A = this chain, B = another copy of it.
Amino acid sequence: MRRGIAIATIRDVAKLAGISVSTVSRFLNKSGYVNAETEQSIKNAIEKLNYAPNQVARGLAGKKTNTIALILPDISNLFFSDLARAVEDVAATYGYTVIFGNSDDQGTKEKRYIETLKQKYIDGIIFASNTFGHEDAEMLTKLGIPFVCLDRGPDEQNFSVVRSKNREGAVMAVQHLRDVGCRKIAHIYGPQHLVTGKERLIGFEQSVQGFDWYTPTLLEPADFRIAGGMKATERLMERHPDIDGIFAGNDLMAVGALKALHRMGIRVGEQVAVCGFDGIQTTEITAPELTTIAQPIYDMGALISRLLIKKIEGNLEEDRLYELDVKLIARESTLRRKNGI
């Protein structure tokens, strides 16, 4: 016996109320009729015994644990911790508990989590992890475990996807950079196996294709991280010292660009404008503050959480793609001239 004090069971309640266990259960779950008087006596008994249903037993009997899981690359990543916050907020509202797992974008870790979660009768899973693939989707479908994903392609089926308008966002970024007077804009793009990396690059190319100043060497790949953004910036500025605008595929790389430019003695905002993408909290604390195309991170987390729960409870009409609007947040890093935004 691990527990210190004895905990009341449904049987205790039934006994005290002078009725059977099944009636108490019916009352608890609001399934089937219960007489008004009986109900009152049950309530009294519950109160007196300080009774609360054992969720584990419920889980065994009903295969429902009121627990969902959130698999993400890394909870300490600024974007994902914001997302996690939203997911948990909504889950708590609906009476769900949330488990999280860091996949580090390693397929094996992710699969290990899935295995564990299956054995724990987790009700559903949110994948914000990049390694999630078709086979995983198939397996989960076969197991009958509901799931939803973040940032997948629009071609997915059998499951819902939440992401934001990456392509449009990239177009907005370029437009903004041009509005503040940039005439030679480079793009540091993220990993191409990620929708976010790919779509933002497409949006960029689409926006700059027509200009005579544009050349593919204004593109530089990086890894969505600060250090990568720094290196990419160095390479870009070396190739084209006259670059006056940089659109980074995400905020972390934009922060890297800020740092690199700073080290080169280039004044961000005045000489070179920098625009990021994501809208993580950190963009507010850089100097200069970072202009960014903000995703509604909290809303995305809240939506995906709500979708999963609806799906679990059988209230989701259909699986589909939800593309949320992004928003330009113009700050100091793109304040090129007085007549700029």
What residues make up the interface of A, taking CB atoms closer than 8 Å to B?
Answer: 1-5, 52-57, 59-60, 63-65, 67, 74-78, 80-82, 84-85, 88-89, 92, 97-102, 115-121, 141-145, 226, 255, 258-259, 262, 281-282, 284-287
Contacts and interface: CB of A to CB of B under 8 A. Distances in A.
B2 A63 contact: yes
Contacts of A59: 56, 59-60
Nearest to A100: B100
A255 B285 contact: yes
B286 A144 contact: no
Contact of A119 (B52, B82, B85, B285): B52
Contact of A144 (B4, B85, B98): B4
A141 B3 CA distance: 9
A144 B5 contact: yes
Nearest to A53: B119
Given A88-B101, A92-B101, A99-B97, A4 B142 contact: yes
A75 B92 CA distance: 14
Nearest to A102: B88
Given A65-B120, A75-B85, A99-B99, 7 more contacts: A2-B144, A5-B142, A67-B120, A75-B88, A76-B82, A78-B281, A88-B101
Contacts of A75: 75, 81, 84-85, 88
Contacts of A60: 54, 56-57, 59-60
B98 A4 contact: no
A308 to B, nearest CB: 14
A101 B119 CA distance: 22
A277 B2 CA distance: 40
Contacts of A85: 74-76, 102
Contact of A282 (B63, B82, B285): B285
A32 to B, nearest CB: 21
Contacts of A102: 85, 88-89, 92
A181 B80 CA distance: 40
Question: What 5 A-B pairs come out closest when comparing CB atoms?
Answer: A4-B144, A81-B81, A76-B85, A287-B287, A3-B144
A35 to B, nearest CB: 27
Nearest to A74: B85
A102 B87 CA distance: 11
Nearest to A115: B52
7 contacts: A3-B143, A60-B60, A75-B75, A88-B101, A258-B287, A259-B285, A282-B285
Contacts of A117: 97
Contact of A259 (B67, B89, B145, B287): B287
Contact of A55 (B101, B120, B143, B226): B120
A109 to B, nearest CB: 8
A276 B198 CA distance: 38
A338 to B, nearest CB: 19
Contacts of A281: 76, 78
A53 B118 CA distance: 10
Contact of A76 (B54, B57, B84): B84
